[in-house]
């Protein structure tokens, strides 16, 4: 297969798509805390509810989209339609004035994400040599996060010039999203060796024991991972302006992007499980730092450390799933990985947001750390042929 800048064509193009899409989507996510506070007059509980329900709504799509792409031997239609569905939600923000309206938009957006993620990850894994899996997923996450740096920066510049210019943010995000959808059309479909098996959540017996334990670990770890949108509310603890919120999301994503490829390479060298462990230790460290948010410096450090967590886990968790499953079930496996992570995110969003608003951020951080420790203990029980 043709290479571009040393990467397989599909992997390079999917990186470009993710850059443009995340530039679009993260523009919106970075201003949601400000939008909730100033326009919808809502707080952490409502914001966590929106993010949690949106993830929950996508869970069933995540379970079946990957396995269905295995069955019909087509992955590209899921990728194109998934990105398209997410993008067409962006201008609808212009019309909403309630939390319920945002729930509907975020739900449609996440359903689009659910449609594309399993098939997209399958194409990345099947387009990459086994020895470069970590590098390929790391590159994809780096491009994904690079877009997430540029998007919030644009949002900050817009809000700095127009303090109530949320509509300008939504329109700009829509234009970038259309470009992302256009880029998906140049991707080449990759199937792999398909064996006819009915792949559902109830058919976990088809997978090795190690993969089942891994799914349980991912679920528990996801419960301990508070939504970044909620954590951005910490910027208000020292009296910063609403327009400054996207800048802390930029710091988070700079750290995320800067360590993504290194995280992938380290997983190829040292093994993915060790890198995943390290990533969650950084998440715990960020929680502890943000507990002491009395100065601008601590907030900056806290969000920089927070960004290292997904850099060492997002792509690496996908590459580890590839080591625990067979090629013919890869799409379904990734659907399950995304699903259990989504269910965990549902609990983290709704429960974490409620606890944050009712009992304070310190209590939310403490409970989240307990779940992370339990999840890491379960993760230690998994073992692939490469461990």
CA-to-CA distance for 245 and 186, rounded, in angstroms? 35
Would you say the pTM of this structure is higher than 0.95?
no
| Per-residue pLDDT at 367 | 97
| Per-residue pLDDT at 28 | 92
CA-to-CA distance for 181 and 91, rounded, in angstroms? 15
Which phi and psi (to 5°) does residue 141 adopt? -70, -35
Residue 204 has pLDDT above 70, yes or no: no
Look-up of token digits 């929950």: 56
Sorting pLDDT into bands at 50, 70 and 90, what band is 193?
low
The dihedral built from the CA positions of residue 160, 166, 168 and 171, taken in this order, carries a sign that is: positive
> 3-187+208-379: which CATH architecture?
Up-down Bundle (1.20)
Half-sphere exposure of 260 (CA within 13 A, CB side): 25
Select the more confidently predicted residue: 376 or 60.
376
Burial 83-112, CB ≥16 within 10 A → b, else e:
bbbbbbbbbbbeebeebeebbbbbbbbbbb
CA-to-CA distance for 358 and 363, rounded, in angstroms? 9
Tokens of 23: 């530039």
List beta partners, residue 8: 3
Burial 362-376, CB ≥16 within 10 A → b, else e:
eebbebbbebbeebb
Q: Are the CB atoms for 342 and 55 separated by under 8 Å?
A: yes
Tokens of 195: 């064996």
Select the more confidently predicted residue: 132 or 179.
179
| Per-residue pLDDT at 355 | 95
Tell me the average pLDDT of the chain: 85
Going from N- to C-terminal start, the domains of the chain cover 3-187+208-379
| Per-residue pLDDT at 192 | 64
Sorting pLDDT into bands at 50, 70 and 90, what band is 135?
confident
93-97, 107-111, 163-167, 327-331: least confident range: 327-331
Candidates 5, 58, 9; CA nearest to 183 is: 9
Cα radius of gyration (the chain): 19
Sorting pLDDT into bands at 50, 70 and 90, what band is 96?
confident
| Per-residue pLDDT at 173 | 95
CA-to-CA distance for 322 and 179, rounded, in angstroms? 30
Candidates 214, 196, 210, 185; CA nearest to 67 is: 196
Write out pLDDT tens, residues 289-310. Answer: 998 867 888 999 999 999 999 9
Select the more confidently predicted residue: 175 or 146.
175
Angle between helices 9-38 and 245-270 (to 10 degrees): 150
162-176, 314-328, 355-369: least confident range: 314-328
- DSSP state for residue 380 in the 8-state scheme: T
């Amino acid at each position: 297969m043709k290479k571009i800048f040393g990467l397989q064509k599909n992997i390079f193009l999917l990186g470009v798509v993710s850059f443009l899409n995340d530039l679009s989507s993260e523009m919106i996510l970075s201003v949601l805390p400000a939008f909730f506070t100033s326009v919808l007059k809502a707080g952490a509980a409502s914001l966590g509810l929106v993010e949690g329900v949106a993830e929950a709504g996508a869970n069933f799509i995540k379970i079946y989209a990957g396995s269905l792409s295995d069955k019909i031997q087509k992955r590209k239609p899921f990728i194109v339609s998934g990105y398209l569905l997410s993008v067409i939600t962006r201008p609808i923000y212009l019309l909403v004035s309630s939390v319920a309206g945002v729930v509907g938009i975020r739900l449609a957006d996440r359903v689009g994400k659910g449609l594309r993620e399993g098939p997209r990850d399958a194409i990345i894994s099947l387009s990459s040599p086994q020895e470069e899996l970590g590098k390929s997923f790391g590159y994809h996450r780096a491009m994904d996060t690079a877009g997430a740096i540029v998007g919030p920066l644009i949002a900050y510049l817009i809000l700095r010039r127009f303090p109530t210019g949320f509509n300008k943010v939504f329109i700009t995000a829509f234009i970038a999203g259309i470009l992302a959808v256009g880029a998906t059309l140049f991707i080449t479909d990759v199937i792999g060796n398909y064996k006819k098996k009915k792949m559902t959540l109830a058919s976990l017996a088809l997978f090795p024991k190690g993969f089942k334990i891994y799914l349980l670990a991912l679920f528990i770890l996801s419960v301990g991972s508070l939504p970044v949108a909620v954590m951005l509310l910490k910027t208000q603890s020292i009296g910063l302006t609403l327009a400054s919120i996207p800048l802390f999301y930029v710091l988070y994503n700079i750290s995320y992007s800067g360590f993504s490829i290194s995280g992938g390479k380290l997983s190829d060298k040292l093994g993915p499980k060790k890198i995943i462990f390290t990533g969650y230790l950084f998440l715990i460290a960020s929680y502890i730092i943000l507990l002491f948010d009395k100065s601008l410096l601590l907030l900056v450090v806290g969000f920089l450390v927070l960004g290292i967590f997904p850099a060492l886990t997002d792509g690496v968790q996908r590459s580890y799933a590839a080591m625990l499953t067979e090629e013919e079930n890869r799409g379904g496996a990734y659907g399950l990985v995304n699903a259990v992570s989504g269910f965990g995110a549902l609990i983290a969003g709704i429960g974490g947001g409620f606890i944050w608003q009712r009992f304070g951020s310190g209590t939310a951080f403490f409970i989240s750390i307990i779940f992370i420790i339990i999840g890491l203990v379960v993760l230690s029980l998994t073992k692939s042929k490469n461990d």
